[in-house]
Structure formats: C-alpha cells, structure tokens
C-alpha cells in the first residue's frame, strides 16, 4: 500500500478471522496507542467494512484508504 507521506503504519492482520474477531483484534492491538497513529488493518471478513465504520465513528478514527487485493482488504486507519 503506497502512501505519499512515507509514514510507517502498524499492521494488524485479521485475515481468516470472522466477525467479531477482526474488530476485537484491531481494538486490542491499538489500545493505548497515540492519536494520529497509522494502522493498516488487513481483513477478509465480509462484514469488516461495516464493523470498521462503526468503530471509527465511536472512537473518532479516520478511514484514509481502502485497497483490496486477492480477497484481502487493507484499511488504512488514522487513530483518533
């Protein structure tokens, strides 16, 4: 995933997990991280986008980029 700012993103891999496990993994791995931290959240669960949208709304995160390749979606999220 390319980013013009060259910021390094923390990667949270939830491929192969089904709802609610992907979002729970993301919450656990990002707990305590500073606002503004970039996270690449990888998931192949069909409900992942909907769950992530709700999480972003609740926590003030920003979904900056979405890229799907070979059935895996990478969501770039900036923590709020």
Rounded Cα distance, 52 and 30, in Å: 13
Rounded Cα distance, 47 and 2, in Å: 25
| Catalytic machinery residues | 19
Our CA dihedral for 33, 40, 42, 17, rounded to 10 degrees, sits at 0
Question: What CATH number is given to the structural domain containing 69?
Answer: 3.30.110.40
Are 49 and 63 in contact, with CB atoms under 8 Å apart?
A: no
- Asked if residue 49 is part of any domain, the answer here is yes
Q: What is the tally of structural domains in the chain? A: 1
Q: Output the pTM of the full model.
A: 0.89
pLDDT at 3: 47
Q: What Å distances lie between residue 17 and 7, 39, 54, CA to CA?
A: 27, 18, 18
pLDDT digits (tens, 9 = 90+) for 13-58: 999 999 999 999 999 999 999 999 999 999 999 898 999 999 999 9
- Asked if residue 1 is part of any domain, the answer here is no
pLDDT at 5: 56
**By residue range, what is the domain housing residue 57?**
10-78
pLDDT at 8: 84
């Amino acid at each position: 995933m390319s980013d013009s700012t060259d910021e390094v993103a923390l990667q949270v891999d939830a491929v192969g997990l089904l709802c609610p496990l992907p979002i729970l993994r993301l919450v656990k791995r990002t707990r305590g991280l500073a606002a503004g931290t970039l996270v690449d959240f990888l998931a192949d669960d069909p409900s992942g986008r909907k769950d992530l949208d709700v999480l972003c709304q609740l926590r003030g995160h920003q979904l900056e980029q979405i890229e799907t390749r070979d059935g895996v979606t990478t969501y770039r999220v900036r923590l709020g």
